[in-house]
């Protein structure tokens, strides 16, 4: 296993998009800066989607204006569902976007109301008209779908990825949108993807709906995933996938990898403090285990409980 792992924070998009109440842009910017201060270097900070579909993201341009100029060397990107979103992202100063297409045809229609052919045509248009943008293909429902069940055919995934690859995509993100994945499946899908497209980068976004977030993310890294995505506190889920509650918590991943001797570049103590602050101040669906632990391991050793 590699000694270094890239943890990609997506809470400012995937965590916030499900909140019932609008989170003021000032608060969003504060949390993003706290994440950066803790050592996060890869982050999805917003999404350019229709305000009618996801009102929480209506301030995407404001977030970009406040954050991008201050951190030109960090890997900061946004999600875009279509060409219009990509155009707005480019205008806002982004150099990298994630375009989401679901492996499940049913979920793709529910999520972005497009067929696969329409979605890939839109992806090709983004790549052709904005060559300066690095475009990641987010493969939603890569491991299973609430409408079509668990995805067990790895060939279906490879054929799907090939459509993006042939358009010029070299960055893929396999998303466990409803938390159906298991470690064996994750290893198989990541391994097969990297073997099929050795010059591409593969990341994984694992949900913790059934308490499998940590083990599936570890399986992805063991299989060679180039990066893993998570949200502060495990906040969030997918608003267009019934039952998809809870992401994998960033602080839990940092804890695990740091304890394993792997380099994350992120301070566990700092990111845990940020997670606990968010948990206390913002009402939402959280899955993080360390949110409920009073001390870090080092602090626990210094103040042992002998009961």
Contact 243, 208 (CB under 8 A): no
Span 16-26, mean pLDDT? 94
Query: What is residue 239's predicted lDDT score, i.e. its pLDDT?
Result: 52
Phi, psi of 14 (to 5 degrees): -75, -25
* DSSP three-state, residue 212: coil
Which tens digits make up the pLDDT trace of 249-268? 999 999 999 999 999 999 99
**pLDDT of 222 over the 90 cut:** yes
Span 136-153, mean pLDDT? 94
Query: What is residue 110's predicted lDDT score, i.e. its pLDDT?
Result: 85
**pLDDT of 238 over the 60 cut:** no
Query: What is residue 304's predicted lDDT score, i.e. its pLDDT?
Result: 57
pLDDT level of residue 243 (50, 70, 90 thresholds): very low
**pLDDT of 240 over the 70 cut:** no
CA distances from 56 to 63, 87, 232, 247 (A): 12, 20, 17, 18
Give 13 or 108, the one with higher predicted confidence: 13
pLDDT level of residue 1 (50, 70, 90 thresholds): low
Span 93-111, mean pLDDT? 94
Residue 214, token pair as written in the block: 């940590």
Closest CA to 287 of 229, 215, 239, 232: 232
CA distances from 130 to 83, 124, 127, 134 (A): 10, 10, 5, 9
pLDDT level of residue 237 (50, 70, 90 thresholds): low
Query: What is residue 303's predicted lDDT score, i.e. its pLDDT?
Result: 57
Which tens digits make up the pLDDT trace of 275-299? 999 999 999 989 999 999 877 667 6
* DSSP three-state, residue 9: strand
- 238 noted as active-site residue: yes
pTM of the model: 0.93
Which tens digits make up the pLDDT trace of 25-71? 999 999 999 999 999 999 999 999 999 989 999 999 999 999 999 99
What's the rounded Cα separation, in Å, for the pair 216 and 64? 32
The active-site residue out of 136, 175, 204, 238 is 238
Query: What is residue 2's predicted lDDT score, i.e. its pLDDT?
Result: 59
Which tens digits make up the pLDDT trace of 103-133? 999 998 988 888 999 999 999 999 999 999 9
């Amino acid at each position: 296993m590699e000694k270094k792992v890239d943890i990609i924070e997506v809470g400012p998009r995937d965590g916030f998009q499900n909140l019932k109440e609008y989170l003021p842009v000032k608060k969003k910017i504060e949390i993003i800066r706290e994440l950066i201060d803790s050592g996060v270097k890869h982050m999805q900070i917003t999404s350019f989607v229709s305000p009618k579909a996801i009102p929480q993201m209506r301030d995407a341009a404001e977030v970009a204006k406040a954050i991008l100029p201050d951190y030109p060397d960090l890997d900061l990107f946004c999600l875009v569902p279509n060409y219009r979103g990509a155009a707005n992202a480019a205008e806002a100063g982004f150099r990298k976007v994630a375009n989401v297409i679901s492996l499940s045809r049913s979920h793709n229609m529910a999520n972005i109301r497009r067929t696969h052919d329409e979605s890939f045509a839109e992806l090709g248009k983004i790549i052709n008209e904005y060559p300066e943008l690095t475009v990641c293909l987010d493969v939603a429902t890569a491991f299973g779908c609430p409408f079509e069940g668990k995805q067990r055919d790895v060939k279906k995934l490879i054929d799907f990825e090939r459509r993006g690859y042939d358009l010029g995509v070299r960055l893929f993100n396999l998303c466990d949108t409803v938390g159906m994945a298991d470690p064996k499946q994750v290893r198989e899908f990541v391994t097969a993807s990297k073997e099929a497209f050795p010059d591409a980068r593969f990341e994984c976004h694992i949900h913790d709906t059934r308490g499998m977030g940590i083990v599936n993310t570890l399986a992805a890294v063991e299989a060679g995933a180039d990066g893993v995505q998570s949200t502060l506190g495990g906040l969030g889920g997918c608003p267009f996938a019934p039952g998809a509650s809870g992401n994998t918590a960033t602080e839990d991943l940092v804890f695990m990898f740091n304890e394993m001797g792997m380099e994350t570049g992120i301070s566990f103590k700092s990111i845990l403090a940020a997670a606990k602050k968010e948990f206390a101040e913002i009402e939402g669906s959280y899955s993080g285990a360390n949110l409920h632990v009073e001390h870090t391991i080092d602090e626990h050793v210094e103040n042992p409980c002998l009961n």
